[in-house]
Amino acid sequence: QYFALPVDVTTSAATITLSQGVINITGPATTATVTATAGANTTITNVAVSTAQPGVGNWLSSGNCAGFSTCKDTITVTPGNLSSPQAGAVYLGKVTFTASDNTVSQAEVLYTYEPTNESAITITSPSSFTGFEGQSFSATLTATGGTAPYTWSAANLPAGLSISSGGVI
């Protein structure tokens, strides 16, 4: 007697296919979507983000595709989390997808910071102050709009006066 045993001829080796290998995002705050598809008999087990420049802040985040064989993942840039963002600067990051068989696929993220939706900076403190010679003096400058915190500087202050970067004279 011969018995036929079922044989699985499919492979469990995943190749995670991404709809985009490079994700370009430009703007003050925006998102992009990437579709990740795991290979036969596998699912996506982890999605991780990382940034290439140290000290620029935690500006990149991703949704969670864990447990799915195909998902649309929203990549989010949060400019408010950038340390000292510079208009026109390009920040580099990546999103890494891992499948249940430990294969990995990555999408590179290029974020160009363009603060086009920021309001103009308006100085709200008085334009002049009165002080008396020989007496202590202190004034704090204030502003609205733009992206706080502000860095203050002044030129041609009277002798004996200085300004801190926080705007205190």
Q: Average pLDDT over the chain, rounded to whole?
A: 83
Q: Are 38 and 16 in contact (CB under 8 A)?
A: yes
- pLDDT interval class at 118 (50, 70, 90): low
pLDDT at 22 > cutoff 50: yes
Q: Taking the model in full, what pTM does it have?
A: 0.61
For residue 119, what pLDDT is reported? 66
pLDDT at 117 > cutoff 80: no
- pLDDT interval class at 116 (50, 70, 90): low
- Tens-place pLDDT, residues 41-75: 899 999 999 988 888 888 999 988 889 999 999 99
78-98 as b/e: b if 16+ CB within 10 A: ebeebeebeeeeebebbbebb
DSSP structure string for 143-159: EESSSSSP----SSPPT
Neighbours of 155 (CB within 10 A): 5
For residue 70, what pLDDT is reported? 93
Residue 30 region by backbone torsions, left for phi larger than 0, else alpha for psi between -120 and 50, else beta: beta
Q: Which is more confident, 27 or 141?
A: 141
pLDDT at 83 > cutoff 70: yes
